[in-house]
Chain A
């Protein structure tokens, strides 16, 4: 048993490594060693109850040129009129001169699960003649949300649950040209891929035949790789083998070729969502016709929590590190701790924050 004197005064804390005989790895008392029922697994229920009560928040951004069907797709995804177009009466389709970001929030509920869904629309993106720097307003918006969260987190009096307006997912619409990625696509995805999770989709995919679609997707994947663009799900964030297998399958299929609609038609006696044309009805939820169902499953049914986690643990933390280092360099710190690289070993960590004040003041002196 090792004894470690934390402070000279009195508290003596021993941390022995529990060595139990019948365990595979040191220190794990498996279920069979618990001589009876304890009830630990009830904690799952407790957690479920609490999260359902608290509700969820999800912020999704749709980016693409006008006329690619962004609003329709979002409406189809969430089976209700959540997009901006449907909410503003007397909406006139005008090409705006600059990129505006507009967000609309709705509260939707399903089987007791409440979700506050915010859809952020980007009208004007890629619509001008000169599209240089059209991604800047979007980058600025994303960073502003991170900034807001950071400020709230650094407050002395914090809210119980900080309102989360960070963009969890950005759906980027590629026009179904069948060729390659365009320069605007490459530029946008390269810059945004660093700060937010991008899910590229091929819009209005009913203009491509299956072979054309496959080829197009392959070319896009090659292009993405060649330009070093990382789209969701990123390979580096796979947590274990299971995740990797699941995500590899998804990665083989991106970008998803989708078709959106909100009209229903009769097919074989069933009412299905589809687009009616003279040559047939394109069923949106039929996987043989388009990959909308895969996109929906990815975004909502299986990876929604993961999207939020990646945003919180990876993108937000990266922003935070950058921001705090920046403000340290300017001599104005947002954080009481001035550690250029906070990877101190546990034993180096100063137990009392007041020591840090001295370091802080020492640093300030150095800046003088």
Chain B
């Protein structure tokens, strides 16, 4: 016999709509049934975060970026500049019939941190005449990544901690520097993607816009995004250490970037820049473009948050929708909690019932068919019988006719033979008399 006594009550399951969204709330929620206690000496578990970090370092990190933008807008160059290295890239043509995605994985290492970086580029985006289906392929790709993670999670024997996470953590959307407003293709694509991935819009080739135009352009873009209900990624402001910088950066969205891997000497340093006859645009100069801000935000400050959001928000949403689509739910119509087991059992019963019904149906159809066939065959039989009878009759008629003929013929024959007999007799008699006469004559002589 065993009983389990708990000093405090279990925290009740709450619906996702009011689930805690910040870490503080989480902590309060989890520890609501525990008393705080003061320590009287140094215990040593303050090394816990270090232990955790060490473990993660030995395992390595994983980060996946998706770059969406028209051909030639500078996606690959920006990636090269961002990660300070030369990824293998080649120029794509403008004549792609459909939008393709090209994913490349690299292992980067900086001091003792290993990063498995996957860069996914769109090929041929915005080049087609008819762009209605352009976004679909991107959405499908993102869904496929979620799907494979879900499959792994639902496996019986799984190895999640070794799994190479291929879900997209950040999506850089490259906006063409027209200076006016967003294109409709941009709006449509971003609207479709905002619930699946963290979107960070950037203005590409920002050295073609002047400062004042840029300012107006940014305001226009942000207002268009807001009025169309597009949810782009907001840098988190709940953590005090980074709240300030993140709020400031949130105001600078979308970042106007310039990418370059060529180096030009300015003063006595070699800096990454683009050289024009009228001057040099320095990539890492904050006055010239927002590249440094982008690097800060994307990598140095919020990489972990991007990964977390992907896992806890976008992936969970996908999972929930997928499972609900399949018919699994947590509560039955009476709002009582239903385990997956029950749901499954119900589904199975349903399915068994369906199967039986189908069997019945098939049996019925079969019986029907048999009946029809039988009727058909019976008809044929009758027909055949009729024909046979007819033939028989005809035959009998013929036979009787022939019999009659034969009889008449026989009659004729008998008559004829009688006559012949009679005539022969006559003839014989005649001969006899003539011979008698002759004999008589002879005697008389």
The interface of chain A, by Cβ under 8 A from chain B, is 6-7, 9-16, 18, 20, 27-31, 33-44, 46-58, 77-82, 87, 98-116, 118, 136-137, 140-141, 144, 151, 154-161, 163, 239-240, 296-297, 300-306, 309, 313, 317, 320-321, 324-325, 327, 331-337, 339-344, 349-354, 357, 361, 364-365, 368
Contacts and interface: CB of A to CB of B under 8 A. Distances in A.
Nearest to A124: B2
Given A13-B141, A18-B88, A354-B326, A106 B35 contact: yes
Given A53-B27, A335-B154, A302 B51 contact: yes
B23 A50 contact: yes
B45 A353 contact: no
Contact of A331 (B23, B147, B308, B348): B348
B330 A44 contact: no
A38 B45 contact: no
B330 A156 contact: yes
Task: Name the residue among B52, B100, B302 with the largest chain A CB count within 10 angstroms.
Answer: B52
**Interface residue SS majority, chain A:** mixed
B150 interface: yes
Given A157-B16, A160-B20, A297-B44, A349 B104 contact: no
A325 B156 contact: yes
Contact of B37 (A106, A317, A352): A106
B115 interface: yes
Interface in B17-51: 19-21, 23-24, 26-27, 30-31, 33-51
A196 to B, nearest CB: 16
Contacts of B325: 354
B37 A33 contact: no
Contacts of B20: 160
A332 B344 contact: yes
B299 A39 contact: yes
A18 B98 CA distance: 25
Interface residues of B, number: 121
25 contacts: A13-B102, A15-B103, A27-B107, A39-B299, A39-B300, A42-B301, A48-B50, A53-B27, A57-B30, A79-B39, A80-B37, A104-B7, A105-B35, A108-B45, A110-B45, A136-B2, A156-B329, A157-B16, A160-B312, A304-B45, A333-B344, A334-B339, A336-B328, A353-B147, A368-B355
A102 to B, nearest CB: 5
A58 B31 CA distance: 12
A28 to B, nearest CB: 4
B103 A13 contact: yes
Contacts of A110: 39, 42-46
Interface string B303-334: 11100100010001001101111101110000
B225 to A, nearest CB: 26
Nearest to A144: B4
A334 B36 CA distance: 37
Nearest to A79: B41
Interface string B326-351: 10111000000001110011001001
Contacts of A341: 156-157
Given A53-B24, A110-B46, A34 B85 contact: yes
B347 to A, nearest CB: 8
B61 interface: yes
A54 B26 CA distance: 7
